[in-house]
């Protein structure tokens, strides 16, 4: 029995000194303090923070009128429009759980998610009516009530339900009385992993983690109040890395973006003086490689977060050369998006740009409100030496880790084995304590008994002036078991031969690491810009079988 001290006597939690943490409190505070500040810009549409708060309460009220209650799931298949932002508050105001679904999934995957998550309501955009129609037909059992969100930036498309979003929330009460969750451990959101093999897993977030990661985004990135934030990152991806809640805490402005387009992005940055944005490496590469004319007139500081895959140093260099200040963050769906940051040091600014980009390209150290991120031996859970050489697995521990996988206790237990969340990412720990990914465990190429990091080969490929995107996977080989095969997308107007690429790689890689084959063409990617290496591996296996 733990002995009591004088500090344990009568000093208990009560309503005066303890409140459950929830990002919902950020919205009510900002609406109170800055009611007339602009919260959302969507084309010509503008909302203030007071209007956004009232619209979220209307949504909660209208959903309550449908019988939605604590623990029910409300799904959304939406682009970055005001309704998607409002759902991040209106749904959990009822204690319900928001399930944002990837807009580029096929009908079968959408049907699985709707059924597995037991969605009661589905908010959807007419742009996705075809796949949603097919998905609903595949749902076995009760189907969600469909509410169509018609946005002014995309007025066409087929409506699927009997209710349109604006008419629906108009019935709601703008002064709807909502409450913080009874427990901060209550679920706030449901996100599904990419599911490259088998069905995707449902990752459950709690109010506490969402609150802390939303605040960490501000502190770990050093965001000033009232940031002008451009939604280059899909809100369906890890709830936009928790930035819907972050922007409410920041009392900034959300600039909506329906699709990633370099010209539109630069136009919005110029027009609204955008100060911050987030995105996968492919988004930053798109901007870095865009014609100089598109950036004309942008003379203010723009800061970007990059994550989603280990970013090549060449991309970080490219963004720095066009004057954008990029910070690298790292995380997974299971860690609310970013939960580690490559925190910069003043001394790095004195380094040559290539070396500085290498430093900034590491996965870094824990977010302010995450307890730990480190590299451990996956079998013994012992720390690897901080030598930048010994490979182990990146593991997280702390409040920015999911509750677990929905209806999947086995996968949950495996991912939390030994009291750490196992990421599956292989990495080294540098002498300064910074983590650097070497590969996903499934992406390591084992050639003649030697391990080859596909990311190391890709780093060299990105140095070639003609290469826009690169992905390296294992190709079956009779002699060596596996050899590296490079898939390459060239920059617009650029030319290169396979032999030229191979010779270039020989200058920066050991002979056994050099790609034995180079394939030019479009590389398959997810909607968040991640290269779908599993498709490339399948292509290699099929080609090998034919040979």
pLDDT, mean over the chain: 91
3-state secondary structure labels for all residues of 55-120:
HHHHHHHHHHHCCCCCCCEEEEECCCCHHHHHHHHHCHHHCCEEEECCCCCCHHHHHHHHHHCCEE
**Per-residue buried b or exposed e for 23-47, using 16+ beta carbons within 10 Å of the residue's own CB:** bbbbbbebbeebeeebbbbbeeeeb
Q: Is the pLDDT of residue 105 over 90?
A: no
Quick one: pLDDT band at residue 546, thresholds 50, 70, 90?
very low
289's tokens: 């490689």
Provide the pLDDT confidence category of residue 198 given band limits of 50, 70 and 90: low
Residue 379 pLDDT > 60: yes
Give, in degrees to the nearest 5, the angle at Cα 236 between 286 and 270.
40
Residue 354 confidence class, pLDDT cut points 50, 70, 90: confident
Under the banding of pLDDT at 50, 70 and 90, the label for residue 197 is very low
Check whether 547 has a pLDDT greater than 50: no
């Amino acid at each position: 029995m733990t002995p009591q001290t004088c500090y344990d006597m009568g000093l208990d939690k009560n309503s005066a000194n303890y409140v459950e943490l929830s990002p919902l409190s950020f919205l009510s505070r900002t609406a109170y303090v800055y009611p007339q500040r602009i919260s959302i810009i969507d084309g010509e549409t503008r909302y203030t923070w007071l209007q956004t708060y009232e619209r979220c309460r209307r949504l909660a009220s209208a959903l309550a009128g449908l019988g939605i209650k604590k623990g029910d799931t409300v799904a959304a298949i939406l682009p970055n429009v005001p309704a998607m932002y409002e759902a991040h508050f209106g749904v959990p105001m009822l204690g319900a759980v928001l399930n944002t679904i990837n807009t580029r999934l096929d009908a079968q995957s959408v049907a699985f998610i709707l059924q597995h998550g037991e969605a009661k309501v589905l908010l959807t955009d007419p742009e996705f009516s075809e796949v949603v129609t097919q998905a609903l037909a595949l749902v076995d059992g009760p189907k969600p009530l469909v509410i169509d969100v018609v946005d002014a930036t995309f007025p066409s498309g087929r409506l699927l339900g009997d209710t349109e979003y604006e008419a629906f929330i108009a019935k709601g009460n703008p002064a709807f009385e909502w409450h913080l969750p009874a427990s901060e451990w209550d679920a706030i959101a449901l996100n599904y992993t990419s599911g490259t093999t088998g069905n995707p897993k449902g990752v459950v977030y709690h109010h506490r983690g969402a609150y802390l990661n939303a605040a960490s985004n501000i502190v770990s990135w050093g965001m000033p109040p009232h940031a002008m934030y451009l939604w280059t990152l899909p809100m369906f991806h890890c709830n936009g890395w928790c930035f819907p809640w972050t922007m409410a805490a920041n009392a900034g402005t959300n600039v909506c973006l329906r699709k990633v387009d370099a010209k539109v992005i630069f136009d919005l940055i110029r027009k609204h003086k955008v100060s911050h944005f987030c995105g996968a490496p492919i988004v930053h590469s798109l901007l870095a490689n865009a014609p100089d004319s598109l950036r004309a007139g942008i003379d203010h500081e723009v800061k970007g977060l990059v994550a989603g895959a280990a970013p090549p140093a060449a991309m970080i260099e490219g963004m720095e050369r066009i004057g954008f200040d990029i910070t690298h963050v790292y995380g997974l769906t299971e860690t609310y998006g970013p939960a580690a940051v490559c925190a910069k040091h003043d001394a790095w600014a004195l380094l040559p740009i290539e070396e500085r980009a290498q430093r900034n390209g590491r996965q870094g150290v824990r977010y302010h409100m995450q307890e730990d991120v480190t590299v451990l031996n996956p079998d013994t859970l012992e720390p690897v030496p901080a030598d930048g050489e010994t490979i182990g697995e990146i593991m997280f521990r702390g409040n920015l880790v999911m509750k677990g996988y929905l209806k999947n206790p086995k996968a949950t237990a495996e991912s939390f084995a030994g009291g750490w969340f196992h990421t599956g990412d292989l990495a080294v720990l540098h002498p300064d304590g910074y983590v650097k990914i070497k590969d996903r465990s499934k992406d390591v190429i084992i050639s003649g008994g030697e391990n080859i990091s596909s990311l190391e080969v890709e780093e060299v490929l990105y140095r070639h002036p003609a290469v826009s995107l690169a992905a390296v996977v294992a190709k079956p080989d009779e002699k060596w078991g596996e050899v590296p095969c490079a898939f390459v997308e060239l920059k617009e107007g650029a030319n290169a031969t396979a032999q030229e690429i191979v010779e270039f790689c020989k200058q920066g890689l050991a002979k056994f690491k050099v790609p034995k084959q180079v394939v030019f063409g479009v590389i398959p990617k997810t909607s968040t810009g991640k290269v779908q290496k599993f498709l490339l591996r399948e292509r290699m296996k099929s080609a090998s079988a034919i040979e």
